[in-house]
Amino acid sequence: MSDSIGRREFVRSTLAGATGVALGMSGCDREPQDLSTRPGYTRRAAEQTGPVREISLVAAPGEVEIAPRGVYRKWLYNGQFPGPEIRLKEGERLRVRIENRLPEGTTIHWHGVPVPNAMDGVPGVTQELIRPNETFVYDFIADPAGSYVYHTHAGLQIDRGLIAPLIVEEKKPHVDYDREYTLILDDFLSGEPQPLSRSGGGMGGMMGLQVPPYAGLLINGRLPESPAVFETRRGQRVRLRLLNPSGATTYRVAIAGHQMTVAYADGRPVEPRTIDSLYIGMGERYDVIVEANNPGAWTITAATVEGNSPPAQAALLYKDAAQSRPPSGAAPEGLQGGRTLELSDLKALGTTDIGAPDRIFDLTLSGGMMNPAWTINGQAYPKADPLEIYEGERIRARMINRSMMIHPMHLHGHFFRVGDALKDTVIVPPHMGRVTFDFLADNPGDWFFHCHNIYHMESGMARIVRYK
């Protein structure tokens, strides 16, 4: 297909004044494209895969201690909260047998991994719910390397605790480091998750912000009073994998006494960029390198952007430090000022240009205030049209956020190009924020595309991207 201006103008003019889903051209004038030239990521051929890793998970209710607050009944993978980290090497094949001992149906989604469609874990879209006392086997190649999460994709179950890290180690990292830690940023509900639409009143409701009644914010399942401690020693380079599988919290993260060098965005390697703080939305992941050059005990803080829970905290502790805990109440300077990571700072290693789009969707994100639904172009999923595409097309999505809340928009099954980065989840800022992403349609199936705030997703802010 040619990339002539005329063609693009045609696409644009069909969109002018369009409401609902804007469709570009019909499929008949396409040419097949060489999908092996996809920038930044090429799907591994079956013969290139490594050994098979067999994992068994049981999803069941259980009790966890959230110190010092008490013991709570949550829904857990293998009795753990957060769930057990699955860690494997690039190219290994993962076979996970999940047994459902919950009182309702569930699924697992391998967030960010471009799995074959049938392994994607979206109930009613790629599989039926795994019913109580049933089992299901997920089987896919762990590729490419990166920091991912796995989580339930049924209803509001994420806020019951069914979240966990999935780490795929690369053979040759583009940055050096001496040790690494995984940090799971989460929000903690002491009761059962409920849809927010009916409770949307009060001041928060008037501001257009609907935030669940969280009892606190956690790093690795721990409240600030009893923080996770990450040890280091002077001169080390520490890789922190920051993962946000929370239900409804965008965090701003900073470390007292230290800068962070962002080296991966949503698992994809980027040119290292040193900053003082970063925002991380639900579904996003950032890997940062911290140079341990300032001995002591320091706070790692993750402060909510939209709610009013006190920040989640962990500790970066140097061996031989005089104190064993950071002084309480010490907020990192990076939350006050300094340099905050911006989308335009992210540059994927290698080229990401996929050329001019063949098909463009204009997507308006709305909701909040008096409106119980969260919508894309006025439609609330499941009463919403699929976004129809053809294999081999280059797709562009232009999003605008006409609401007062942050929407971290996540596309299943693909990485997209946003600015110069490759990501799978991107924050669309409130108050008319605009974000455009492009992707190559190289993984056929029905793919969920949605806001990763689970309350927004469940109230309609979702679509299916459908290969015709």
The binding site for ligand C2O (CB under 6 A) comprises 109, 111, 151, 153, 283, 410, 412, 448, 450, 452
Contact 49, 91 (CB under 8 A): yes
Taking the complex as a whole, the smallest distance from the CB of residue 454 to ligand C2O amounts, in Å, to 9
Under the criterion CB under 5 A, does residue 456 sit at the interface with Cu ion?
Answer: yes
Query: Which of 41/447 has CB closer to ligand C2O?
Result: 447
Interface positions, 426-455, toward Cu ion (CB under 5 A): 451, 453
CB of 295 to ligand C2O, least distance (A): 38
Closer residue to ligand C2O, CB minimum distance, 283 or 311? 283
Q: Closest CB to ligand C2O among 410 and 417?
A: 410
Residue 453 interacts, among ligand C2O, Cu ion, none and using kind-specific CB cut-offs from 5 to 8 Å, with: Cu ion
Point out the residue whose Cβ comes nearest to ligand C2O.
111
456 binds, among ligand C2O, Cu ion, none (CB under 5 to 8 A by kind): Cu ion
Which residue lies nearer to ligand C2O by CB, 24 or 283? 283
Smallest separation (angstroms) from Cu ion to the CB of 387: 17
Q: Least distance to ligand C2O from the beta carbon of 245, Å?
A: 7
Which CB sits closer to Cu ion, 222 or 407? 407
Short-list 316, 336, 332, 312, CA closest to 324? 316
For residue 111, the partner it binds in Cu ion, ligand C2O, none, with Cβ less than 5 to 8 A by kind, is ligand C2O
CB of 403 to Cu ion, least distance (A): 8
CB 108, min distance to ligand C2O, A? 10
Nearer to ligand C2O among residue 246 and residue 352 (C-beta): 246
Nearer to Cu ion, 227 or 247 (CB): 247
Nearer to Cu ion, 352 or 425 (CB): 425
From ligand C2O, Cu ion, none, which one binds at residue 188 (CB under 5 to 8 Å depending on kind)?
Answer: none
Q: Measured from the CB of residue 457, what is the shortest distance to ligand C2O in angstroms?
A: 7
Q: How far is the CB of 247 from ligand C2O (least distance, A)?
A: 11
As a three-state string, the secondary structure of the chain is CCCCHHHHHHHHHHHCCCCCCCCCCCHHHCCCCCHHHCCCCCCCCHHHCCCEEEEEEEEEEEEEEECCCEEEEEEEECCECCCCCEEEECCCEEEEEEEECCCCCECEEEECCCCCHHHCCCECCCECCECCCCEEEEEEECCCCEEEEEEECCCCHHHHCCEEEEEEECCCCCCCCCEEEEEEEEEECCCCCCCCHHHCCHHHHHCCCCCCCCCEEEECCECCCCCCEEEECCCCEEEEEEECCCCCCCEEEEECCECEEEEEECCEEEEEEEECEEEECCCCEEEEEEECCCCCEEEEEEEECCCCCCCEEEEEEECCCCCCCCCCCCCCHHHCCCCECCHHHCEECCCCCCCCCCEEEEEEEEEECCEEEEEECCEECCECCCEEECCCCEEEEEEEECCCCCEEEEECCCCEEECEEEECEEEECCCCEEEEEEEECCCCCEEEEEECCHHHHHCCCEEEEEEC
To ligand C2O, the closest distance from the beta carbon of 82 in angstroms equals 14
Residue 407 makes contact with Cu ion by CB under 5 A:
yes
249 binds Cu ion (CB under 5 A): no
410 binds, among Cu ion, ligand C2O, none (CB under 5 to 8 A by kind): ligand C2O
Nearer to ligand C2O, 153 or 407 (CB): 153
Q: List residues near Cu ion by CB under 5 A.
A: 407, 451, 453, 456
